[in-house]
């Protein structure tokens, strides 16, 4: 009986998740694309930044390596979101966390901070730079799998 109660107490899967970073150019769109692949298809996913940004071509390179694409998607700011009702806001950079806390202070939205490295600070060869983006991608995927997936909720995609 106690085991049944423990499983009933498990938090439910958020129905709407927003990923936020500085410019919605690297961390948050990457997280959104990975979450779209892993989470159930009924989960509403979006990403945004706190300031304007430009699309980063290295994001396309490392997402393509795992069969994902941003398509024609361009960076957007929090103000650009069509829907602003989320069960969970995941922030990936300090400035994004502060903005999300300010934005949600009068609503019952859970805001979680997942500090993620900024791969643009890496200098060196193209391979070294791409490697930093891969590390970020893999870290995001691991965090999403560990914290957002419930047993039996993985989305199945044909290869």
List, for residues 52-108, the tens digit of each pLDDT value: 999 999 999 999 999 999 999 999 999 999 877 899 999 999 999 999 999 888 888
Ranges of each domain in the chain:
17-147
Contact 66, 140 (CB under 8 A): no
> pLDDT tens-digit profile of 24-54?
999 999 999 999 999 999 999 999 999 999 9
Residues β-bridged to residue 2: none
Which class would CATH give 17-147? alpha beta
Contact between 57 and 27 under an 8 Å Cβ cutoff? The reply is no
Would you give the DSSP letter of residue 36?
H
Q: State residue 67's pLDDT score.
A: 97
DSSP 8-class letter at 90: E
């Amino acid at each position: 009986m106690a085991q049944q109660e423990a499983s009933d107490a498990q938090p439910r899967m958020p129905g709407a998740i927003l990923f936020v970073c500085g410019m919605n150019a690297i961390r948050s769109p990457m997280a959104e694309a990975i979450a779209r692949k892993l989470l159930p298809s009924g989960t509403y996913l979006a990403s945004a930044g706190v300031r304007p940004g430009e699309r980063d071509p290295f994001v396309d390179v490392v997402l393509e390596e795992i069969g994902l694409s941003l398509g024609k998607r361009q960076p957007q700011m929090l103000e650009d979101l069509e829907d602003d009702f989320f069960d969970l806001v995941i922030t990936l950079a300090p400035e994004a966390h502060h903005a999300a806390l300010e934005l949600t202070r009068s609503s019952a939205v859970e805001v979680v901070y997942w500090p993620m490295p900024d791969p643009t600070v890496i200098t060196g060869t193209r391979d070294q730079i791409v490697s930093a983006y891969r590390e970020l991608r893999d870290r995001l995927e691991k965090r999403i799998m560990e914290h957002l997936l419930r047993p039996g909720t993985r989305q199945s995609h044909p290869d």
